[in-house]
Structure 1
Amino acid sequence: MTATVAIGEFARLTLLSVKTLRHYHAIELLEPVAVDAGTGYRRYSVDQVEQAHLIRRLRDLDMPLPQIRTVLATTDPADRDAALREHLTRMEAELQRTRDVVASLRALLTVPAAPPKVDYRVEPAFTALTVTEKVDRSGIADWCATTFEQLYVTLLEAGITPGGVAGATYSTEFFTEDNGSVTAYVPLPPGADFVPISGLTVADFPAHRYAVTVHTGAFEDFDRTYGALGSHVAEHDTAVPDEPVRERYLVGPDRTDDPADYRTEVCWPITEGEDE
């Protein structure tokens, strides 16, 4: 017969506090094998020690409790390993993001911002396959990755080669409210005969004049590029506040695995006037 121990002893066996064990019982993550009906005292089987150790390690890796519950309920080792690999991949991505933010912070504190190289041009009118949605600023990277993949796959399946550089337009509310309309687009070649599927739209973009600079590298320093270009426009031009800012992705994740090689044009809408 497998031995059982009181909750205090089980805490010593597993290095999980009594408070934590009570919480795991309450959420049905790690339930005792017996609870005394009169006293409410919990008893745990020593067979549960290994499971408790697994839970503690997964929590040390910041795995959310619902995912831990899924791992524990999985009887297929392959499915369990896949869930663990998925979480480790997310952790590695978050670690890389932390490194990038730290590098960006060091640069902000030690490297003075260089004046932006600003060009002026009128972007010609064009037609593009688009997706427009309200997006939270915190989730824009994931949204763009999913949306541009959808746009490119749709064109590929239709046998249509993109007619230019892909990009996105960002509404004023996206910046002022942390949530606003974003339109991702891939230009269509002239004369393309394409009927969009559900969720996609073929839209015409009118010609417009922009002050333009290029952001090189990952997006942790994107705010500095926006700040430099917007400041330049405020000093030398007249911005159009209700016209969306446009980004053009000259080199992005679809063309390189190294964020240091990313090149993004930021196009600030301005009124007609003399360039300074």
Structure 2
Amino acid sequence: MSRGLTIGEFAQLTHLSVRTLRRYHESGLIEPASIDPVSGYRYYTSDQIPTAQVIHRLRQLDVPLSDVAKILATEDTEERADLVGGHLRRLEAQLDRTRAAVTSLHQLLRPDKDLLPVELRSAPPRTVAAVKGFVDHGEVLSWYAEAMAELDAAVTGLQSLGPPGGRYANELFTGGRGAVLVYRPVADPPIRGRVTPVNLPAAELAVAVHFGPHDDIDVTYGRLGTWVVEHALAVDGPVHETYLVGPRDDPDPRAWRTEIGWPVFRLAAG
């Protein structure tokens, strides 16, 4: 009777190195079907090839060995799908961060940098429906999504007076934590949960529009800041963002338009 496939033969069939197979054996991921008690040679069966290939694919996706062991150990297909799905979501988030960094680098390294159209504008005072918070910089996106969902529910059926927007304190960027406010301009702003009427004061702003997703919005911030240094006097106050076109308006990020308003004091002409 055949003793099975030698470790070298099994390595050739699975495209896993002998060294890798030994490490997987030591980790308990895939053990030889038998081990010769005299020579210590490891032997595998053809039935183990699919398992080895699954391990190989999971490791290609950088799934940790401990998670690979959990995936192989469970016989519940839903639990197994949840384990794999969780790792895939982490990979997708990492890929999104990589794409964002690449997009920003392309913008920053572009030698023929386009001039950024900037407009000086007076924003009048107004009362809006808003949600306020004090947030860590890394939690802004999740906080924003929850706050806007709460706002949407609170103002359903009320007359809209313009696109939604946000106010972001300087400390959020300089210290990593600061005051954040998101709002929707509506007639008769309600009081509901965290949603309350908020009076936005008048402000003088240097305004520019960022086109597309927010992956490289920091580049637009930088260019607008450069313009302010050269043409106006920056003043202390929160950065204004107005979401002219966003995910609620168009699912295609290429269509998004975000207006950035930098508080300024106008300098004399010339």
Equivalent residue for 1:233, pick from 224, 228, 232:
228
Q: What's the counterpart of residue 183 of structure 2? A: 186
Equivalent residue for 1:165, pick from 163, 168, 175:
163
Shift of the 221–190 alpha-carbon distance from structure 1 to 2, 3 Å rule, reads same
Question: Letter of the aligned partner of 2:264 in structure 1?
Answer: I
SS at match of 1:270: strand
Partner Cα separation in structure 1 for residue 34 and residue 171 of structure 2: 55
Q: Percent identity?
A: 35
Task: Kindly state the Cα deviation for residue 235 of structure 1 after the two structures are TM-superposed.
Answer: 1.9
Please show how residues 147-162 of structure 1 align to structure 2 within 5 Å: 147-148=146-147, 150-152=149-151, 154-155=153-154
Task: Kindly state the Cα deviation for residue 117 of structure 1 after the two structures are TM-superposed.
Answer: 2.5
Task: Kindly state the Cα deviation for residue 210 of structure 1 after the two structures are TM-superposed.
Answer: 1.9
Report the more deviating stretch, 43-52 or 226-235.
43-52
1:168-216 CA-to-partner distances (Å, cap 9, x unmatched) read 3323233234x323625232634344331xxx35362431332211111
Task: Kindly state the Cα deviation for residue 44 of structure 1 after the two structures are TM-superposed.
Answer: 6.8
Question: Letter of the aligned partner of 2:150 in structure 1?
Answer: L
SS at match of 2:216: helix
Partner Cα separation in structure 2 for residue 24 and residue 152 of structure 1: 52
Q: What's the counterpart of residue 249 of structure 2? A: 255
Shift of the 191–149 alpha-carbon distance from structure 1 to 2, 3 Å rule, reads closer
SS at match of 1:232: helix
Partner Cα separation in structure 2 for residue 123 and residue 19 of structure 1: 70
Please show how residues 61-100 of structure 1 align to structure 2 within 5 Å: 61-63=61-63, 68-69=68-69, 71-77=71-77, 80=80
Question: Letter of the aligned partner of 2:121 in structure 1?
Answer: Y
Larger Rg: 2
Give the gaps of 5 or more residues in structure 1: none
Shift of the 48–34 alpha-carbon distance from structure 1 to 2, 3 Å rule, reads closer
Please show how residues 74-153 of structure 1 align to structure 2 within 5 Å: 74-77=74-77, 80=80, 102=102, 105-107=105-107, 108-137=109-138, 140-141=140-141, 144=144, 146-148=145-147, 150-152=149-151
Partner Cα separation in structure 1 for residue 41 and residue 172 of structure 2: 52
Partner Cα separation in structure 2 for residue 143 and residue 22 of structure 1: 47
Give the gaps of 5 or more residues in structure 2: none
Partner Cα separation in structure 1 for residue 114 and residue 205 of structure 2: 22
Task: Kindly state the Cα deviation for residue 123 of structure 1 after the two structures are TM-superposed.
Answer: 4.2
1:3-29 CA-to-partner distances (Å, cap 9, x unmatched) read 66676665444333455445545665x
Shift of the 64–170 alpha-carbon distance from structure 1 to 2, 3 Å rule, reads farther
TM-score, normalised via structure 1 length: 0.71
1:136-184 CA-to-partner distances (Å, cap 9, x unmatched) read 45x655554x32553245426x76566542223323233234x323625
Task: Kindly state the Cα deviation for residue 257 of structure 1 after the two structures are TM-superposed.
Answer: 2.0
Task: Kindly state the Cα deviation for residue 268 of structure 1 after the two structures are TM-superposed.
Answer: 0.7
State whether residues 136 and 172 of structure 2, in contact with CA within 8 Å, keep that contact through their aligned partners in structure 1: yes
RMSD after superposition: 4.2
Question: Letter of the aligned partner of 1:32 in structure 2?
Answer: E
Partner Cα separation in structure 1 for residue 93 and residue 250 of structure 2: 16
SS at match of 2:233: coil
Please show how residues 53-64 of structure 1 align to structure 2 within 5 Å: 53-63=53-63
Shift of the 256–9 alpha-carbon distance from structure 1 to 2, 3 Å rule, reads same
Report the more deviating stretch, 147-156 or 223-232.
147-156
Question: Letter of the aligned partner of 1:191 in structure 2?
Answer: D
TM-score, normalised via structure 2 length: 0.72
